[in-house]
Amino acid sequence: MRVLGVDPGSSATGYGLIEREGSRVRHLCHGVLRPPAGAELSVRLHFLHERLSAVLVETEPEVAVVERVFLAANPRSALVLGQARGAILAGLGQAGVRVAELAARQAKKAITGSGAADKEQMQMMVSRLLSLEKPPPTDAADALALALSYAQAGSLADLPIRGRRRNHRRAMTDALTRRLP
């Protein structure tokens, strides 16, 4: 299974592709899409859509895991992030790629053991788990963490949410943590 992780942002969108064969996971590629600084929002969104579409054609993932929106302190930032996610989701839909969503805290918990892990911890653990020579950029590391979390969860990631959402998240995080090497 080829899994593409996407960490959306209007100024930097990280992506990372892994492949899972049985219990083995290997790194295929990663990168950061950086729209032109200072460009109009519409130009940045178009850039993200086009560049991600090119990545999808090149990498052919079976599923993409996109970071779930969180509540930001600044409503404008949250709105712009939501628009960047929209451009990314539109590109994934256009390419016919199945989409899963995962909260950043869930990926952090699955990869580092702590839902409050910082960027450096994520970079180091992703590098270690994927045997990378050097840590990827922070946005790409976050994207790779999303992909790893989904790949390690296997069919658990596709289970429907029932009951209290908080308990489901805790159970999912616990299951993800137990399955990591």
Of residues 1, 148, 143, 139, the one with CA closest to residue 63: 1
Q: Which amino acid is at 24?
A: R
- Dist. CA 31–CA 153, nearest whole Å: 23
State the catalytic residue, choosing from 40, 62, 139, 142.
139
Q: How buried is residue 75: exposed, middle or buried, by Cβ count under 10 Å (0-12/13-18/19+)? A: exposed
| Residues sharing a CB contact under 8 Å with residue 126, sequence separation 6 or more, in sequence order | 111, 132, 135, 136, 141, 144, 145, 148
| Residues sharing a CB contact under 8 Å with residue 52, sequence separation 6 or more, in sequence order | 6, 13, 15, 33, 87, 88, 91, 92
State the catalytic residue, choosing from 7, 60, 120, 158.
7
State the catalytic residue, choosing from 21, 58, 67, 101.
67
- Dist. CA 59–CA 136, nearest whole Å: 18
- 7: annotated active-site residue: yes
- 67: annotated active-site residue: yes
Residues catalogued as catalytic: 7, 67, 139
